[in-house]
Amino acid sequence: MEGELRHEMGYSSVMTENRLTHAAFPPIFALATGLAGSMGRAAIAVLRVSGAGSREILHELCGGILPPARQASLRRLQHDGEVLDEALVLWFPGPRSYTGEDSFELHCHAGPAVIDAVSLALVALGARPAEAGEFTRRAVQAGRMDLVQAEAVADLVEAESAAQRRQALAQADGALSRLYDRWAERLKILLARQEALIDFPDDEVPDRVAAGLETERAALAAEMRAHLDDRRGELVRRGVTVVIAGAPNAGKSSLLNALAGYEAAIVTRRAGTTRDPVMVDWVLDGVKLRLIDTAGLRETEDEIEAEGIRRAMFHVKHADIVIHLFDDDVPALSFPGALLVRNKTDLAPAPSGVLGISAVTGDGIEALREALRDRLRHLTAGSGAPLTRARHRAGIGEAAAHLEQAGTLDWPELRGEEMRLAMRALGRLTGKVEVEAVLDVVFGEFCIGK
């Protein structure tokens, strides 16, 4: 059965303590495919329906004949004696569905009139339009996945790079959840041992129990802190920020255009042309980057240019990688850890030990890309499941803090209370406890239909 669920969902199923009955949820529907845009109309539109009463709705739409479960069937959709469309229909009886409820999909022709007609029929038959993230929210409430996996679904929908896709798939498959569940299990054992110290006299509990408890508590807190120090997941999810900084007319905008592959920034001979930062999203070796061209750094009396320089320094301060570009002598101003690059090597060679490029001719650009690849590997490579969101960071940080506080207390009752609070913080993270308190926050960023 577990294998069937895994195949059906595409990732592991994690049961939660907040499982609700399916009967509590009325049917909802949403367009699961995007609307036609600048690329023209699509041929097929997919409407998803889920909830109590879905069977009856599909039975009515298909003219009184329910299609076989989990088989694509061609059906003529009808309502009130009118044919709405000829569509492929997929019927998923619960609990083996994405939400755990009775669900179905209608693969209709994508014309707006068809979508409108089918949507109106669904409303007439008792379904309502879904809210953002409502399908996945129901899956969490039914125990089909936990909150960490649900967030991975949103990340997978938004993935723009191969690294983001791989990370989201691993998290959706439960990589992070399994780590947090292992921590929760270890913490449960620690708490049981701590309760033994409370319930029994000192002479009935061997000293090695207390010593082992303290060793394991410290080790678990240290693992959590190491997890918090690993920022790979957050970098991959949001993208690595690369800031190009340097003096006016050093060629920063030309370099941005050369790396981006198109004219993203205005290039002139006039110093101070770039005042507001110019940002370009770029993917290098499967990792999303945000390139930022900044105002030239120099002393100035111009109020507007001075504001541009202030913003440039802000971006340098918060960058993951800084490319410090110069075109003359090595600059006196330095940024710790910056990649020092000499531009305009078509006019003069780069000093020894400094990467040289010509943003105009393209010489050295590939070497610069390779240097960026090295920095990216350093920032994003590693093993294990890194945390990906601020919510995870807050939850693990709270759990670690309670464990560390427990180590400072003498009374076993107080130590036990700190461990219980750590357990609660982990439980909120995955949705094992107090799930309703965080559902609105988690699913508020989801798209309609997911």
- For the annotated binding site for (6S)-5-formyl-5,6,7,8-tetrahydrofolate, the residues are 48, 105, 144, 450
CB 32 within 8 A of CB 47: yes
Place of tokens 């799930």: 435
Place of tokens 């240097």: 371
Place of tokens 């003069």: 348
DSSP string, 215-257: HHHHHHHHHHHHHHH--HHHHHHH-EEEEEEESTTSSHHHHHH
Backbone phi, then psi, for 82, in 5-degree steps?
A: -110, 135
Q: Which residues are annotated as a binding site?
A: 48, 105, 144, 249-254, 268-274, 293-296, 450
Q: Which residues are annotated as a binding site for GTP?
A: 249-254, 268-274, 293-296
DSSP state for residue 365 in the 8-state scheme: H
CB 320 within 8 A of CB 337: no
Q: What gap in Å lies between CA 387 and CA 3, rounded to an integer?
A: 26
Q: What gap in Å lies between CA 429 and CA 393, rounded to an integer?
A: 9
CB 435 within 8 A of CB 144: no
Give the residues across from 79 on adjacent strands: 82
DSSP state for residue 40 in the 8-state scheme: B
Q: Which residues are annotated as a binding site for Mg(2+)?
A: 253, 274
